[in-house]
Amino acid sequence: MSKIQSIPVKTIAGQASSLGEYAGKVLLVVNVASKCGFTPQYEALETLYKQFKTQGFAVLGFPANDFGQQEPGTNAEIQRFCSITYGVNFPMFEKVAVTGPEKCALYEALTEAQPEAIGDDGSLRAKLSQFAASNDLPAPRPRPEVLWNFEKFLVSKKGEVVARFCSSVAPSDARLVQAVEAELAK
């Protein structure tokens, strides 16, 4: 079992779990939020999940309230929102911190393993810095910290982080889909 697979997490229902329960599957670990400009990606994440789940793929959603208070709800409220609004059936986990001093162990390991995100050319960082300044929010943290909601970490069947995608890289983006297909083929 890899380091990432052995880190304890809890499902959105509060049950003890770990990524080890998904050993042998390709995973897309995503920090999600219900009130973000990227929130419509839930639909595309569900589509991606449905497309590849029978081939050994899972999307794992980790709600986070780290960016502009865009995930203020309880775990039950988040689950209800995801189910009703976007028909989410992929596994969801309890709300965690993905950046800063309260960052959970899973996101510590993910960012350490893959400090750079595909699609992060600096333009999103600049836009988010302007957004933060105009809304009296903290500026985005420097790399390797997660920049914003809906960053995606691709984890191999062996539990190794093989890619990281910026929030602005949609789940349907050819770079992401091709990376998933390549990992599934291994």
The residues with which 95 forms a beta bridge, in sequence order, are none
**Ordered alpha helix ranges (H), 53-122:** 75-86, 105-113
| C-alpha torsion 97→102→104→109, nearest 10 | 110
Distant-in-sequence, close-in-space partners of 115: CB < 8 Å, separation ≥ 6: 143, 144, 164
Tokens describing residue 63 = 């709600």
Active site residues per annotation: 36
